[in-house]
Structure 1
Amino acid sequence: MIPATFDYIRPASLDEACHVLRDAGDSGDDVKVLAGGQSLLPLLRLRLAYPSALVDLGRLPGLRGVEDRGDHVFIGALTTHDEVLRSPVVREHVPLVAMATATVADPAVRHRGTFGGSLAHADPAGDLPAVALALDCVFIARSAEGEREIPAAEFFTDYLETALRPGEVLIGVRAPKLGADWGFHYEKFTRTAQAWAIVGVAAAVRSEGGDIAEARIGLTNMGPTPLRAQVAEEALRGLGVAHGNGGGPAPGSAPGSAPDGARDPVRDACGQAAEGASPPSDLHARPDYRAHLARVLTYRAVRAASA
């Protein structure tokens, strides 16, 4: 299909972009921000979005790149997925970001799509929002009035909606370095290769003396926004990671059973991953199937992360 008519604006600086967006918000115009365009352009073609104007940030200086800033890694909003994936700083200090980025679409999309654009698009089926929640990332927004920090837990507010205010632009994300006692894994189930996740799980696990001292679990496509599996996180605290065999449940087995018939406390805890979620129903999966996937994938992700 052909997109509806819109004005095209390419600001020369970030300050100009912020003023353009602020003026548009004051006038009530529907203006969209264009970065890599890999999420927005399909919506325009299908006329699921029909803004009055596009503000193209793709060539603005200073919003691209990965920096090691001591206790955290800063990823510029216009950094492409491919640049994130190839960054040695990301792979060393925030490997969960690299794991999830490697599953984003295909190489062509990863060379054009941007890290910040994917997060600001706020698709609950996207891979990176759940990772940002699991890592407790901080989003840096810029407006004509200055910069503002938004914790990941407050950033995603509804389906395709964020806490960004009219006139604000996401300029980058701070991803904390969690240390050598943390393990990470991203588990994703898709209908076909390169497709959106039917369910995804981002797990970060801190171990102490063979026990799970802390677990952070972000869920993909289990509601209108990405969410943390807080019930499962609390249930995992203090459990020994040596329990269980590290694999997925056998077909037809009970959620808490192990192959030898013994109970697996880790699997029991992960069986609560869907508590409080509102999984959607669509052509790919019903809510009960997504809830089942969340339990199974959480177990796999936690076992891999704690290994």
Structure 2
Amino acid sequence: MKPAPFDYHRPDSVAEAAQMLTEFGDDGKLLGGGQSLVPMLAMRLAFFDNLIDISRLQEMKGIEVRDDEVRIGGGTTHAAVGADERVRSAVPLLTRATPLIGHFQIRSRGTIGGSIAHADPAAEYPAVALALDATMETVSTSGGRAIAAGEFFAGVWETAMEPDEILVGVRFPIWSGRCGFGVEEFARRHGDFAIAGAVAAIELDDDDRVRRSGIGLLGLSATPRRASAAEAAIAGRPIGDITAEEIGDLAMSGLDDIPADLQGSAHYRRRVGAAMVAQAWRSAVKEAFDA
């Protein structure tokens, strides 16, 4: 199929794009990498009278390392994120999650802002953003604001962004100290969306107790989710007293909206999800001990 007819616009700045978005209202839609939007338009699952192409706005791109965080422009491609040595050093979870996103063609066009704003519950970057307490930067004609990852994802493909806002950047805290990170997901074929998956981050204190942790879940809810109950249950505990299997079971507790589809039942996804959390946790703990 072909998309329904639309008018194409290419603004010269974020400010101009925001003005267009305000002017067109519900009839306008931003086009970044287009890896989610274009297929939906082609299958006529969505249609808009006006597409606003922000893919070439240089002010939307780039990676900046600050004292305690890394800021990545919303228009920065997955490939650029995955290849950046500064990201590899400061935010290892992003680097390790990137190769799991689709295929290299998708990573060459898709953007970090597009992935997070699309809010697919099976996508990797939203899970990383949640686990690491990232902050989303948005801009509209009314000004800018910062939205914490824990408040950003609101529903199926829904976020806390207003219709006239543009996601211009994402800030990831830099974890320091005895830290470890792990990413695991299960998909039927490489490049498919994960049936279930998890990202894990852990920091240990000098007595080998859990100082802080972050666990993000993929494909296990109607929205990107964080296993907050599991994190709270292990806070301050000696790492030697915590088994990976316990973490997997704790992460699945409280999940009452696990999807069921042709890929698997809710029960199956729960079992796979627990296994993925356990594997990611083992990797993170091993790295933290080696740090």
TM-score (norm 1): 0.89
User: Does the CA-based 8 Å contact 1:236-1:270 persist in structure 2?
Assistant: no
- Equivalent position to 1:42, from 34, 39, 49: 39
Q: Name the counterpart of 2:246.
A: 268
| Structure 1 gap ranges (5+) | 244-263
**Match of 1:145?**
142
Given the superposition, is the C-alpha separation of residues 98 and 286 from structure 1 closer, same or farther in structure 2, using an over 3 Å criterion? same
| Preserved contact between residue 24 and residue 50 of structure 2 (Cα < 8 Å) | no
Shift of 1:299: 1.1
Counterpart code for 2:203 = R
TM-score normalized with structure 2 length:
0.94
Residue of structure 2 in register with 1:210 after alignment: 208
State the alpha-carbon separation in 2 of the partners of residues 289 and 166 from structure 1. 36
- 1:125-274 to structure 2, matched below 5 A, reads 125-208=122-205, 209-242=207-240, 265-274=243-252
1:253 match: none
**Match in the other structure for 2:273:** 294
Corresponding residue for 1:56? 53
Contact 1:236 1:266 in 2 (8 A): no
| In 1: Cα distance, 2:117 partner to 2:125 partner | 10
- Shift in Å, 1:46: 1.1
| Higher-Rg member (1/2) | 1
String of CA shifts for 1:206-235, please: whole Å, max 9, x gaps: 112223232211111111111111222122
CA deviation profile, 1:125-181 (whole Å, cap 9, x unmatched)? 111101100000000001112110000011111111111112110000000001132
> Equivalents in 2 of 1:265, 1:93: separation in Å?
27
Unmatched 5+ residue regions in structure 2? 287-291
The match for 1:106 is 103
Matched residue pairs, number? 284
Query: 1:28-69 CA distances to partner (integer Å, 9 max, x unpaired)?
Result: x33221001111111111111112211100111211111111
Quick check: 1:19 aligned with 2:19? yes
Distance in 2, Cα, partners of 1:139 & 1:60: 18
Q: What pairs up with 1:61-140 in 2 under 5 angstroms? A: 61-140=58-137
Runs of 4+ that moved beyond 4 A: none
Query: Does the 8 A contact of 1:239 with 1:266 survive in 2?
Result: no
What secondary structure sits across from 2:4 in the alignment? coil
Superposed, 1:275-286 pairs within 5 Å as 275-277=253-255, 278-286=257-265
Deviation at 1:269, TM superposition (A): 3.5
SS of 2:47 mapped into structure 1: coil
Contact 2:13-2:59 at 8 Å conserved across structures: no
How far apart, in 2, do the equivalents of 1:58 and 1:269 lie?
40
| Residue equivalent to 2:6 | 6
User: Retained in 1: the 8 A contact 2:76–2:112?
Assistant: yes
Matched, 1:304 2:287: no
For the Cα contact (< 8 Å) 2:128–2:216, is it kept in 1? yes
Letter in 1 for 2:97: A
d(CA) in 2 for partners of 1:141, 1:241: 38
Displacement, 1:265? 4.0
Distance 2:67 2:243 in 1: 37
CA contact (8 A) 2:60 2:74 kept: yes
Q: 1: CA distance between counterparts of 2:151 and 2:27?
A: 23
Letter in 2 for 1:272: L
- In structure 2, how many angstroms separate the alpha carbons of the residues matched to 1:8 and 1:216? 41
Q: Percent identity?
A: 42
Do the aligned partners of 2:244 and 2:279 also contact (CA within 8 Å) in 1?
Answer: no
2:289 corresponds in structure 1 to: none
Taking the aligned partners of 1:296 and 1:231, their CA distance within structure 2 comes to 17
Distance in 2 (CA, whole Å) between partners of 1:69 and 1:214 is 22
Which is richer in helix? 2
Query: Which amino acid in 2 is paired with 1:11?
Result: P
